[in-house]
Amino acid sequence: MNETDAHTREPQELAYLGLGSNIGDREHYLLEAVRLLTEHPQIVAAGCSGLYETEPVGYVEQEAFLNMVVAVSTTLSPEALFHEMLRVEHELGRKREIRWGPRTIDLDLLLFGDRVQNRPDLILPHPRMMERAFVLVPLVDVMTQREPLRAELFRERLELVEGKEGVLLWKKTC
């Protein structure tokens, strides 16, 4: 790489995406979402948690979820990454009929580097992630691989959250 290339390359950001599924072949939907996201030339998988089975939150009259968190390295803006996530949800048949209801796939942008923003279309960090064991358990799992010191902060928060005993490792992935 020459000096010009180093100055024109866009900076990489590390983002953490939460994924969930509770309709049909849940594992397939999660892994297919990761595959579709990483087909984008500006999104590279940087690590993933195991798959965790969890009971539904909010609307509880539905099947159990599989959840995971994926770390991605990207040159996209948070908004462009979020738009790509919505495209993948649509491609995998996501229907928004019941709030917190059953879904083939749910993708949440949890963290985007150290970005903090509060816009109507995208809030960072994700506004409810610190209350949800089904997000924090896989987040700590994957973050420990990439950012162990930062993971420790989330692990401390996880100790205060109810329901972590209901987040069960279902399968190791990458």
- Whether 103 is catalytic is yes
Buried-exposed string 75-87: b where 16+ CB fall within 10 A, e elsewhere: ebebeebbebbee
Give me the catalytic one of 26, 103, 132, 141.
Answer: 103
Using alpha carbons, list the distances in angstroms from residue 75 to 57, 69, 102, 139, 145. Answer: 33, 19, 32, 21, 21
Beta-strand pair 65-74/123-124:
unpaired
**What is the Cα gyration radius of the chain?**
16
- Whether 106 is catalytic is yes
The C-alpha atoms of residue 127 and residue 50 are separated, in whole angstroms, by 23
Give me the catalytic one of 108, 115, 146, 157.
Answer: 108
Give me the catalytic one of 26, 106, 132, 141.
Answer: 106
Give me the catalytic one of 5, 35, 94, 157.
Answer: 94
Residues designated catalytic: 94, 103, 106, 108
